[in-house]
Amino acid sequence: MSVMAFDSDAGRMAERDAHWMAAALRRAARNTGRTGANPSVGCFIVASGADGRDAVVARAVTAVGGRPHAETEALDMAGERARGATVYVTLEPCSHHGKTPPCVNALIAAGVSRVVVSVTDPDPRVSGRGFALLRQAGIEVVTGVLEEEGERALDAYLRRQRQGRPLVTLKLAVSADGMIGRLGDGQVPITGPQARARVQTWRARSDAILIGAGTAVADDPLLTCRIPGMQHRSPHRIVLDKRLELPVASKLVATARDVPVMIVTGKRPSDAETDPRSADAVAALARDAARAMRRAALEAEGVEVVESDPDAPATLLTTLAARGIASLFIEGGARVAADFLAAGLVDRIALFTAPRVIGAGGIAAPVTRDHIPEGFALSASRMLGQDRLDLYERAL
């Protein structure tokens, strides 16, 4: 049981609330990227003892897959000790019936005296309603505690709720001469081990990772999380592949049954509007037949093939959001990066700059430290070995 002493003066209440909310936010971070369509929420239940000291009687985070919610998990742990206690939760408790009863009902039934929340849930089924029900039950409700930190922790979920699309992070590793690789050389190491380890952490915290077909064919990457003990946190892998060029023998396809792979491809070309006996019509039919065979071979290995316009990133993001994907990590392809930037669909840029020089034949980076797209501001900068990481963000 954790304890912490606070002055009884009412003026210390804000400090007390901020302390426990910070603890709840740290707890929430444990399952970021692992809770499916639901956000990863942290919850602490804190009781006040006769000596004026606070005691944590339960702490929880939304379970892997999204159920159970943090509040119900914490209440189950606390049992009768929840009666009269204060609940700290990073997102407004749900008030609608879904696969499980509302968390608001559980909080009321448990007899808690106070609920402190960081962020109001923008879901129209919940927004403000959870607070109203708690207050109607005589429970004190405090909102907006560490709200900025809470918005940052829940940014992917909030983006999907408010804009109907995932939060998009673009990662680029750029050489000292502004290149991201070299034509015809496949994968060219640019950054060092510390920077690459940071990328693995991002993969573990993302719902999905996306690359273009050119990168997939040239580099033959796995795109899994390689942090020891965290391989199970590998994200869904998505390839923009208009012509279904991904080889069946690729590493992505070979591991599709272990870690999901989705190929986003263009719709089947329509038959030539000419005499069906013409050379053009025969060629079109042959292309369609070959495409159908490639698709069947990929699907036989467990790959999901989705027909959409790979050149319309907004449509793709809407499709992903509908599938519960709230965070997307773009990791490969100058064309893909440029398309998402041009469409205004990148929310964060993780820019790694390395001392290595690529030289002749290099592929120019769409973003460098000297050329940052309008609307982005530097939010953090640090050295990782010899490499520099600059994180740029667009306002939520």
Coil, helix or strand for 209?
strand
Strands, sheet with 387-393, edge to edge from the N-terminal-most edge strand: 304-307, 261-265, 236-240, 208-212, 327-332, 167-174, 348-353, 387-393, 377-384
The token pair at 261 is 């792979």
**Catalytic pick among 71, 73, 92, 393:** 71
Q: 103-110 and 129-136 are packed helices; what angle lies between their axes, rounded to 10 degrees?
A: 20
The token pair at 289 is 């037949």
- HSE-up (13 A, CA, CB side) for residue 359: 2
CB atoms within 10 A of CB 10: 7
Q: Is 71 a catalytic residue?
A: yes
How many H helices and E strands in the chain?
12, 17
Cα angle 365-380-389, degrees, rounded to a multiple of 5: 40
- Residues annotated as catalytic are 71
